[in-house]
């Protein structure tokens, strides 16, 4: 089967046990993904802790779209397109700021941080101030919702609610927030931006691929005495779980429970963060507090762009069919200053362009992108663990720690969006 014959027919390119290489390289597929995934479904944009005060704003993105996440005077959150309604100029330059209104530098058109047009210079040319009524303001995402501070937007006016979209993944956000003695996550540590020459789905698939760590990350595991490698082996009791909606996780908690040590998952012994451990037990009670600290933080990929990896949070931004930016920050827990500092230090060592983990992942994405451009054998195999998958007590499909259950589920969901039957 040649690539030419496949044009437009995505179902023939996604099979239960394999996908066609053109899905990572075909500009037409990418264009359709932007329309049917990135500009239709719920996409993670930012966190309310990034705009804590009335009139705060931060620049964000929905794939290649530049948006501004604002909190208005009343506290409501908006996601606005960064595009003046006059001549299409970019309105906001700064990464972040505080302003009730935005003024375009080109001709001075001025907009409220709700997107409403407030006015323009020399308005007689438009017949006076009342022209505001007929001229448009900044484009706004028609649907913006947040879940526990995580703000998502959909550029489609209609569709499933955010809660429906998140499904079981919402519980993973709950699990993350419970690690704060105040029940809240704060994304206040700033961002590192890492660009890779690879299609965005290479990243999504890798995030919950438990097969690669012992190969790609063996260099750092071997010298740091990290136990992470063992978590992703065939002997591990950890599982890969498809959570529905294209979301997936590596659930390492069975291993952490076996270990039974509070904060054992984090690599930071409790003795180094006594204030945090005390605050957790004070909030949740000794038994539940210990349980939360033993179970650890989720490792979950929320389709299509939010990856929570225990102590760090990644936002995946496709910018071209073969270029993707990964934005990463250290997760900070409200009420946990001693833990938070350690998380920044740990995270900086691991992620970003020089990260001792992520630079190796990035190398694999890029090698993969160059590899799939080669003509034969056309397909990428997804069959690992297909024969040993099971359904767990909650009805989710589960594979072993190293199985490709999450990828198969991602592609199945992908088809429902890209090529609805």
Partner 1 sequence: MDDVGVVASEFATVRVSLDTQGNSPRLRLEDLRSGAVRFLDALELESIVWAPEGFLRELLDPSRHRWRDDGSEGCGP
Partner 2 sequence: MTAAAQHIVDGTPAPQEHTAAPGDPIPLAEAEAFLYREARLADAWELEAWEALWTDDATYYVPVDDSADPRTTMSIIFDNRNRIATRIKQLRTGKRHAQRPLSRLCRSVTNVEVLDHEGGDTVVTSVVQVLESRDRGSTWWVGRVTHRLRRVDGAVRMAAKKVVLVDSDRALPSMSFLL
Q: Which stretches of the chain bind partner 1, using CB under 8 A?
A: 73, 92-94, 97-103, 108-110, 112, 118-125, 129
Pick from partner 2, partner 1, none: which does 325 bind, CB < 5 to 8 A by kind? partner 2
- Residue 236's nearest CA partner among 260, 216, 206, 256 is 256
Q: Distance between CA 30 and CA 99 in Å, rounded?
A: 36
Q: Which residue of 156, 344, 386, 417 would you call a contact of partner 2, by CB under 8 A? A: 344
Q: How far apart are CA 290 and CA 84, in angstroms?
A: 52
E strand residue ranges, 279-361? 299-302, 306-309, 312-320, 323-330, 332-333
Q: Minimal distance in Å, beta carbon 373 to partner 2?
A: 13
Kindly state the smallest distance separating residue 395's Cβ from partner 1, in Å: 50
Buried b (16+ CB within 10 A) or exposed e, 207-219: bbbbbebbebbee
Contact pick of 155, 169, 196, 243 for partner 2 (by CB under 8 A): 196
Phi, psi (degrees; rounded to nearest 5) at 102: -120, 135
Q: Binding to partner 2 by residue 14, rule CB under 8 A?
A: no
334 class by beta-carbon count within 10 Å (0-12 exposed, 13-18 middle, 19+ buried): middle
Work out the number of other CB atoms within 10 angstroms of the CB of residue 237: 14
Which of 111, 200 has the CB closer to partner 2?
A: 200
DSSP string covering 253-275: HHHHHHHT-TTGGGTS-GGG-HH
Binding-site string for partner 2 from residue 219 to residue 238, where x marks contact by CB under 8 A and - marks none: xx-xxx--------------
Instruction: Give phi and psi for 84, each to the nearest 5.
Output: -65, 140
Residue 323 CB, shortest distance to partner 1, in Å, is 27
Taking the least distance from each CB to partner 1, the nearer of 98 and 214 is 98
Q: Which helix (H) or strand (E) holds 78?
A: strand 77-81
Q: Which does 192 bind (CB under 5 to 8 A by kind): partner 1, partner 2, none?
A: partner 2
Residue 94 contacts which entry, partner 1, partner 2, none (Cβ below 5-8 A, type-dependent): partner 1
For residue 248, give every residue at least 6 positions away whose Cβ sits within 8 Å of its Cβ, in sequence order, or none: 208, 240, 241, 242, 300, 301, 405, 406, 409, 410
146/307 Cα distance (integer angstroms): 16
Contact call for residue 175 and partner 2 (CB under 8 A): no
* Number of amino acids touching partner 2 (CB under 8 A): 39
Please report whether residue 156 would count as binding partner 2 according to CB under 8 A.
Answer: no
Site string for partner 2, 346-385 (x = CB under 8 A): -xxx--xxx-x--xx-xxx-x---x---------------
Minimum distance of partner 2 from residue 362's CB (angstroms): 5
108 binds partner 2 (CB under 8 A): no
Bridge partners for 68 per DSSP: 59, 80
Which partner in partner 1, partner 2, none is near 164 (CB below 5 to 8 A by kind)? Answer: none
**Interatomic CA distance for residues 411 and 47, integer angstroms:** 27
Min separation Cβ 55 and partner 1, Å: 10
Q: Of 48-107, which residues contact partner 2 (CB under 8 A)?
A: 95
Interaction partner, residue 118 (partner 2, partner 1, none; CB < 5-8 Å by kind): partner 1
């Amino acid at each position: 089967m040649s690539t030419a014959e496949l044009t437009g027919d995505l179902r023939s390119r996604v099979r239960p046990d394999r996908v066609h290489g053109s899905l990572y390289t075909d500009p037409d597929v990418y264009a359709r993904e932007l329309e049917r995934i990135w500009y239709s479904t719920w996409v993670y944009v930012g966190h309310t802790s990034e705009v804590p005060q009335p009139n705060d704003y931060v620049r964000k993105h929905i794939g290649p779209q530049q948006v501004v996440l604002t909190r208005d005077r009343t506290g409501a959150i908006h996601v606005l397109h960064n595009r003046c309604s006059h001549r299409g100029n970019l309105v906001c330059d700064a990464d972040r700021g505080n302003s009730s209104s935005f003024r375009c530098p080109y001709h001075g058109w001025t907009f409220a941080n709700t997107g409403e047009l407030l006015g323009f210079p020399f308005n007689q040319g438009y017949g006076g101030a009342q022209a505001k009524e007929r001229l448009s303001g900044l484009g706004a995402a028609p649907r913006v919702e947040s879940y526990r501070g995580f703000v998502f937007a959909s550029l489609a006016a209609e569709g499933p609610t955010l809660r429906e979209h998140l499904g079981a993944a919402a519980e993973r956000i709950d699990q993350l927030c419970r690690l704060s003695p105040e029940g809240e996550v704060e994304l206040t540590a700033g961002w590192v931006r890492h660009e890779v020459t690879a299609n965005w789905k290479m990243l999504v698939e890798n995030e919950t691929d438990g097969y690669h760590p012992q190969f790609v990350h063996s260099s750092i595991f071997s010298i740091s005495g990290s136990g992470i490698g063992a978590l992703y082996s065939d002997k591990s009791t950890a599982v890969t779980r498809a959570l529905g909606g294209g979301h997936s996780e590596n659930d390492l908690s069975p291993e952490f429970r076996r270990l039974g040590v509070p904060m054992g998952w984090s690599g930071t012994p409790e003795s180094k963060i006594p204030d945090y451990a005390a605050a957790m037990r004070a909030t949740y009670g000794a038994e539940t507090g210990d349980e939360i600290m033993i179970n650890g933080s989720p490792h979950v990929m929320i389709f299509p762009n939010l990856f929570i990896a225990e102590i760090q949070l990644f936002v995946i931004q496709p910018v071209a069919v073969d270029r993707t930016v990964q934005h990463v920050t250290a997760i900070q827990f409200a009420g946990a200053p001693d833990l938070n500092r350690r998380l920044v230090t740990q995270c900086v060592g691991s992620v970003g362009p020089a990260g001792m983990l992520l630079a190796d992942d990035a190398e694999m994405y890029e090698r993969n992108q160059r590899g799939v451009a080669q003509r034969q054998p056309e397909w990428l195999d997804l069959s690992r663990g297909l024969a040993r998958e099971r359904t767990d007590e909650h009805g989710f499909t589960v594979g072993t720690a190293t199985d490709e259950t999450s990828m198969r589920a991602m592609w199945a969901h992908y088809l429902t969006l890209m090529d609805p039957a």
